[in-house]
Amino acid sequence: MEHLLRDDLMVSSWMMTVANVPAIVTRMLAPFIEHPTILMLVISLIVLMVGTSMDVTPTIMILTPVLLPAIKAAGIDVAYFGVTFILMTVMGLLTPPVGTVLNVACSAGKINMERIVKSVWPFLLAEAIILLLMVLCPAIVTIPMQFFMGG
């Protein structure tokens, strides 16, 4: 099963490369490149929307090579982008309409979606606030990262 996912991702990556998708996305995001904070907000919205319907691994495998050229062009720290990108994709797992993790929790707890969504909203809101703070103030991620890397 795992080799089928890997093959699908390789085909998707090849198709995106042939279609020059990273360059197209970079051109679409070009108006925001001079404003890294706005670029990160736009990317956050895109990744959150994609994350509501896709699992983390395919989202990372498909969107990272597409978004990375724009991130580098804007001068955004790649490690900082990685941390925020992972948080964005994980938030998507908890966000309706698909919310993969919500469906698993409903099955395991034998409760309906409405009840679990009511329980998850405070945590999702806290995560969204943290994500917004990380986007508005990258130092929240970069300073501890530099400290732990000895820089």
Q: Does residue 13 fall inside a structural domain? A: no
pLDDT in tens, 7-51: 555 666 666 666 676 677 778 888 888 999 999 999 998 888 888
> Mind listing the pLDDT tens digit for each residue in 78-99?
999 999 999 998 888 887 777 7
> Any residues with CB less than 8 A from the CB of 121 and at least 6 apart, and which?
none
Residue 27 in any domain: the answer is no
In a domain, 71, yes or no: yes
Q: Is 2 a residue whose pLDDT tops 60?
A: no
pLDDT value of residue 75: 94
The whole-number pLDDT of residue 133 equals 95
Quick check: 95 and 71 in contact, CB under 8 A?
A: no
Q: Is residue 123 part of a domain?
A: yes
pLDDT score for 59: 83
Q: Look at the chain and report how many structural domains it folds into.
A: 1
Q: What is the tens place of the pLDDT at every residue in 111-150?
A: 888 888 888 889 889 999 999 999 999 999 999 988 988 7
In a domain, 64, yes or no: yes
Q: Residue 65 falls within a domain, yes or no?
A: yes
Q: How far apart are the first and last CA of the chain?
A: 42
- Is residue 16 situated within a structural domain? no
Q: Which domain holds residue 76?
A: 36-142
pLDDT of the residue at 56:
84
Instruction: Give the residue-averaged pLDDT of 51-58.
Output: 81
- 126-142 as b/e: b if 16+ CB within 10 A: ebbeebeebbeebebbb
Instruction: Report pTM.
Output: 0.78
Residue 8 lies in a domain: no
